[in-house]
Structure 1
């Protein structure tokens, strides 16, 4: 049940749009191509099992972990309508 001017299913449409954006963002960040044999950051060998599992990988596990600690993915659109979410 929607209230006001919103159509029925508007909340689900917002949820679906958020999920679709997250999936598209994840797909765009997936690696492609040939994997490196040595890490681009530290020069250590990248294990063959990692290179096979992740085509296009360029970093060893340790360097990838360090980079991911500081990477944050946030949406610039507030799809949640509560006042509390707008104040955060």
Structure 2
């Protein structure tokens, strides 16, 4: 990240920060020297949010179009994946 501002300093320079973000430069906000947030332009945010929604809709469409029973495979392929042992002993 090119630019960083502490939260307190960002409060004092908000108009400048907004202008820089509009020009396409994301700005990282820090608290006690550690990154806590990133300010991005509305255009960049919309692009990022749209990608997340497209994935969700694609996943929903996949779930509607595929029968889970068709994905089960055969016992030979997946039979050895799970350990047949009962696991460790456990008591309360």
Asked if these proteins are the same fold (TM beyond 0.5), I'd say no
Structure 1 or 2, whichever has the larger Rg, is 2
Q: When the two structures are superposed, what TM-score results if normalisation uses the length of structure 2?
A: 0.30
Higher strand share: 2
